[in-house]
C-alpha cells in the first residue's frame, strides 16, 4: 500500500470514536511501529484523535494474559501526551482514578479499603479502567510461549466489543510458521475490521524515516534511495550515525561530511541488512575495474549484483578516510582523534582537487572556443600557476611555460617557475627529473634547470647507519652509495660501529668492509675499506677485549698499543 493511502487510513481510524480493530502487517524492521507513532503524533498535533486515552504494549516477553492486562493499564496515558513514556506519574494518575472510583462505591469512609489491602490485585482493578481508549498491541508474533495467539485475539475482541476501544495490532505475519500462520490469518479475519500491509518504497521510506530538520537530510535521502533501503529501522540507524558524524566533522569542508555519510550509509546497510546488501568484506576489497579484463573465471551472480549496486551508488573504493568510517561502523564508536586527522587530510585533498580544477579551467578557456581572448587565456594560466602549484604536475608546468613563451609571455616565466618551486614543499625525489616517468616529455629548458637546482639543494645525504646496514644485508650497492661512503671520515665509521649492538653491528661492519674482497675495486671503494679499517683499529686499541673483537674482522692491533689512550691531535 502506498504511504499516502496508509496515512489516510490511519487518520480516518484515529478521528473516529467507533470501536474498531486495525491490523498493520509488514516485514521485520520495515517501520510499522515508527510509522504508527509518526501518524499518531501528527493526528494528535492537529487535534484529530477522537479518544482521550492511549495505551501501548509490546507482547515481546509477555507470557500471560494477566501480564498483558496489567501492561495495558500501566501504560495508559492521556492521548494528548502521546510520545511521553508511561512512568510513575502516569501510573499514579491511573491508580488514583481507580481509587476514586472504588471509594465512590462505598457510602461510608470507614469501609474504604486501604491500597495495601488490594495491592496484589491492582492489575485486575486497573484493567477495569481500560475502556474507551486507543490500544496499540505490538510484536504479536513475538509473544512468550505461555501466551496463545487466540487468547490475544480474544482479548482484542473483548476490548472492542465490551470496552468500546479502538485497537491497533502491529505484526510481522510472515514470522508465523506456515500452518500456524494460516490458522492465525483465519482467526484474524474474524476480529480485524481493516488489515493494512505496510510496504513502503525506498523513496517513501526515506521520506518517512529521515528527519527533515537535519542539514544532511537531502544527502541521506539520496543515499538511502540509491541503496534501495526500505527498512526504516536501518534508515534510523544511519541517521543516528550521521548525527554523530556531523558533530565530529562540523569544522571541516562539508564535502568531507557528505562523503562520510555516503560511505556510512553503505557500510551500515551491509552490517544490518546482510541478506539484502553486499558483505562488508566485499565492500572493503571492492575494485570497480576488477573483472573488466580477466574473464578467465566468471564472477558469482551474487557478487555481480553487489558490484552493480555499489557502482550505481557511486562508490569507487574504500580510501583512507572511508576506512576510518568503516572501523567506526564495525565497532559502534569513533576514535575522535583518528577521525579528525583523517577528515582534515581528506579536506586537504578536496582543496587540492579544487586547485587542479582551476588549472584545468584555465586550459579549457584555450581549448573550448575560437574567441579572440588571448589575454584572458594567458592571464588565467599565469594565475593558475601562481595559485595552484600544488595541483600542477611537472609535465603540465613544462607544457604551460612553453606555451606562455610561445604566446609572447616569456618575460614572466622565470618568476612563475620560481613561484612554483617555492610553493612545492617536496623531497629530493620529486625534483629528480631523471627518475620521472615523463622525463622525456618535460622539455622546457628553464623548468629543467630549476628542477636540477632544487634537486641539488634538496638532495639529502643518506644516513650512514642505514646505508651500511642495507649494504651488509643486501650485499649490493649503487654508485651513489660508494660516492657517499668514500666521503666519510674514520670518525663517522667509528660512531656507527660504537652505537650498534648484535646483528645490527655485524651488518654495519660487513657493509663497510664489503669492497675489501672485490678484485676490481675502484679507488673510492678502496678508500671506504681503508677508512672503515682505520675506525675498527681505533676501537681495537681501546682495550684488549676490543682488540680480540676486531681481530674477527681481519683487523690486527699490536699488543703494545692495546689499551693505550688515543691521541686527540
In total, the chain counts a number of residues equal to: 569
So what's the pLDDT on residue 180? 57
Same structural domain, 39 and 151:
yes
Residue 21: pLDDT band (50, 70, 90) is very high
Counted domains in the chain = 4
Query: Cα-Cα-Cα-Cα dihedral of 122, 128, 133, 139, to 10°?
Result: 60
Assigned domain for 156 exists: yes
Task: Quote the percentage of the chain above a pLDDT of 90.
Answer: 55
Say whether both 307 and 186 belong to one domain: no
* Rounded (5°) CA angle 360-363-364: 85
Residue 123, pLDDT score = 55
pLDDT digit string (tens) for 474-498?
A: 888 888 889 889 999 999 999 999 9
Q: Is the residue at 342 inside a domain?
A: no
pLDDT bucket at 297, cuts 50 / 70 / 90? low
Q: Which residue has the cell 618551486?
A: 421
Q: Are residues 215 and 85 in the same domain?
A: no
Residues 6+ apart with CB under 8 A from 402: 443, 444
pTM more than 0.75:
no
Question: Is the domain of 144 the same as that of 36?
Answer: yes
Residue range 82-136, pLDDT digits in tens: 555 544 444 445 445 544 444 444 443 444 444 444 444 555 667 888 899 999 9
DSSP state of 115: G
* Cα–Cα distance measured from residue 547 to residue 406, given in angstroms and rounded to the nearest whole number: 70
CA–CA separation, 150 and 548 (whole Å):
97
pLDDT value of residue 90 = 47
Q: Which domain holds residue 290?
A: 204-334
Mean pLDDT of the chain, nearest integer: 85
The strand pair at 194-197 and 20-25 is best described as parallel
Same domain, 272 and 155: no
Q: Longest Cα pair distance anywhere in the chain, in angstroms?
A: 127
Last residue of some domain: 403, 429, 458? 458
| Alpha-carbon dihedral sign for residues 421, 422, 423, 426 | positive
Last residue of a domain, one of 334, 365, 396: 334
Higher pLDDT, 352 or 540: 540
Tell me which of 436 and 418 has the higher pLDDT: 418
* Within-domain flag for 500: yes
Residue 79 · residue 106 · CB < 8 Å: no
Q: Domain check: are 55 and 161 in the same one?
A: yes
Pick from 46, 245, 241, 56: nearest CA to 134:
56
Domain boundary among 199, 228, 247: 199
What phi and psi values does residue 135 have, to the nearest 5 degrees? -125, 125
Residue pair 183/10 in contact (Cβ under 8 Å)? The answer is no
Q: How far is CA 443 from CA 363, 377, 400, 447, 547, in A?
A: 19, 22, 11, 8, 58
Whether residues 451 and 473 fall in one domain: no
Q: Cα(223)–Cα(237) distance, rounded to whole angstroms?
A: 13
Return d(Cα 18, Cα 275) in angstroms, integer. 42
**Tens digits of residue pLDDT in 493-551:** 999 999 999 888 999 999 999 998 888 889 999 999 999 999 999 999 999 999 999 99
Q: Cβ(380)–Cβ(361) under 8 Å? A: yes
The residues, any chain, with a CB within 8 Å of residue 245's CB and separated by 6 or more, are: 257, 260, 261, 264, 325
pLDDT band at 144 (very low <50, low <70, confident <90, very high): confident
- Arithmetic mean of pLDDT, 285-290: 76
**Cα torsion for 182, 183, 187, 189, to the nearest 10°?**
10
pLDDT digits 0-9 by tens, 23-56:
999 988 788 999 999 999 999 999 999 999 999 9
Q: Are residues 28 and 161 in the same domain?
A: yes
**Residue 566: inside a domain:** no
If asked whether residues 443 and 473 sit together in one domain, one would say no
- Give yes or no for a contact between 526 and 519, defined as CB atoms under 8 angstroms apart: no
All cell numbers assigned to 380: 588565467
For cell 500491509, what's the residue?
197
191: in domain: yes
For residue 344, being part of any structural domain is answered with: no
Q: Please provide residue 21's backbone torsions phi and psi, each rounded to the nearest 5 degrees.
A: -115, 120
* Residue 349 falls inside a structural domain: no
Residues 182 and 263 in one domain: no
Q: Are residues 326 and 239 in the same domain?
A: yes
Verify that 448 and 476 share a domain, yes or no: no
The answer as to whether 222 is a domain residue is yes
Over residues 440-445, mean pLDDT? 89
Q: What is the pLDDT of residue 1?
A: 67
Helices marked H in 368-501 — which ranges? 374-387, 394-406, 413-423, 428-431, 445-458, 464-474, 479-486, 490-499
Amino acid at each position: 500500500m502506498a504511504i499516502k493511502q496508509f496515512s489516510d487510513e490511519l487518520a480516518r481510524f484515529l478521528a473516529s470514536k467507533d470501536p474498531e480493530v486495525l491490523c498493520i502487517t509488514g516485514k521485520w524492521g520495515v517501520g510499522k511501529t515508527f510509522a504508527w507513532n509518526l501518524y499518531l503524533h501528527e493526528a494528535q498535533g492537529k487535534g484529530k484523535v477522537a479518544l482521550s486515552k492511549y495505551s501501548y504494549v509490546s507482547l515481546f516477553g509477555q507470557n500471560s494474559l494477566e501480564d498483558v492486562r496489567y501492561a495495558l493499564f500501566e501504560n495508559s496515558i492521556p492521548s494528548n501526551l502521546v510520545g511521553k513514556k508511561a512512568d510513575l506519574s502516569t501510573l499514579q494518575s491511573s491508580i488514583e482514578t481507580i481509587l476514586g472510583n472504588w471509594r465512590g462505591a462505598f457510602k461510608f469512609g470507614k469501609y474504604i479499603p486501604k491500597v495495601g489491602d488490594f495491592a496484589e490485585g491492582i492489575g485486575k482493578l486497573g484493567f477495569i479502567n481500560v475502556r474507551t481508549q486507543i490500544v496499540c498491541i505490538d510484536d504479536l508474533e513475538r509473544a512468550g510461549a505461555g501466551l496463545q495467539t487466540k487468547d490475544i485475539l480474544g482479548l482484542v475482541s473483548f476490548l472492542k466489543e465490551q470496552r468500546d476501544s479502538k485497537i491497533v495490532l502491529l505484526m510481522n505475519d510472515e514470522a508465523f510458521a506456515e500452518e500456524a500462520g494460516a490458522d492465525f490469518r483465519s482467526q484474524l479475519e474474524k476480529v480485524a475490521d481493516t488489515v493494512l500491509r505496510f510496504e513502503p518504497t525506498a523513496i517513501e521510506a526515506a521520506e518517512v524515516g529521515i528527519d527533515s530538520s537535519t542539514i544532511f537530510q537531502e544527502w541521506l535521502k539520496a543515499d538511502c534511495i540509491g541503496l534501495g533501503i526500505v527498512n526504516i529501522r536501518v534508515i534510523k540507524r544511519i541517521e543516528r550515525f550521521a548525527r554523530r558524524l556531523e558533530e565530529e566533522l562540523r569544522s571541516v569542508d562539508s564535502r568531507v561530511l557528505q562523503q562520510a555519510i555516503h560511505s556510512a550509509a553503505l557500510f551500515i546497510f551491509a552490517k544490518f541488512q546482510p541478506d539484502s546488501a553486499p558483505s562488508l568484506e566485499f565492500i572493503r576489497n571492492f575494485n570497480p575495474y576488477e573483472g573488466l579484463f580477466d574473464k578467465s573465471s566468471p564472477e558469482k551472480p551474487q557478487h555481480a549484483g553487489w558490484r552493480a549496486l555499489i557502482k550505481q551508488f557511486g562508490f569507487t573504493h574504500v580510501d583512507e578516510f572511508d576506512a576510518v568510517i568503516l572501523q567506526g561502523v564495525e565497532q559502534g564508536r569513533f576514535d575522535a582523534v583518528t577521525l579528525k586527522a583523517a577528515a582534515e587530510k581528506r579536506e586537504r585533498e578536496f582543496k587540492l582537487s579544487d586547485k587542479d580544477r582551476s588549472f584545468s579551467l584555465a586550459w579549457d578557456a584555450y581549448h573550448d572556443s575560437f574567441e579572440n581572448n588571448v589575454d584572458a587565456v594567458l592571464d588565467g594560466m599565469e594565475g593558475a600557476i601562481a595559485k595552484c602549484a600544488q595541483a600542477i604536475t611537472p609535465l603540465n608546468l613544462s607544457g604551460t611555460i612553453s606555451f606562455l613563451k610561445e604566446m609572447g609571455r616569456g618575460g614572466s616565466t622565470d618568476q612563475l617557475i620560481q613561484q612554483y618551486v617555492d610553493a612545492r614543499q617536496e623531497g629530493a625525489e620529486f625534483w629528480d627529473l631523471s627518475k620521472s616517468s615523463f622525463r622525456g616529455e618535460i622539455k622546457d629548458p628553464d623548468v629543467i634547470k630549476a628542477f636540477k637546482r632544487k634537486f641539488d639543494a634538496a638532495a639529502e645525504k643518506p644516513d650512514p647507519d642505514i646505508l651500511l646496514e642495507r649494504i651488509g644485508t643486501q650485499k649490493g650497492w649503487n654508485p651513489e652509495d660508494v660516492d657517499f661512503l668514500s666521503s666519510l671520515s674514520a670518525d663517522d665509521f667509528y660512531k656507527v660501529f660504537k652505537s650498534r649492538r648484535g646483528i645490527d653491528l655485524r651488518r654495519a661492519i660487513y657493509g663497510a668492509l664489503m669492497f675489501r674482497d672485490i678484485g676490481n675495486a675502484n679507488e673510492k671503494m678502496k678508500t671506504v675499506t681503508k677508512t672503515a679499517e682505520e675506525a675498527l683499529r681505533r676501537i681495537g686499541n681501546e682495550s684488549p677485549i676490543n682488540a680480540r673483537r676486531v681481530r674477527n674482522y681481519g683487523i690486527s692491533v699490536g699488543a703494545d698499543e692495546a689499551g693505550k689512550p688515543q691521541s686527540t691531535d
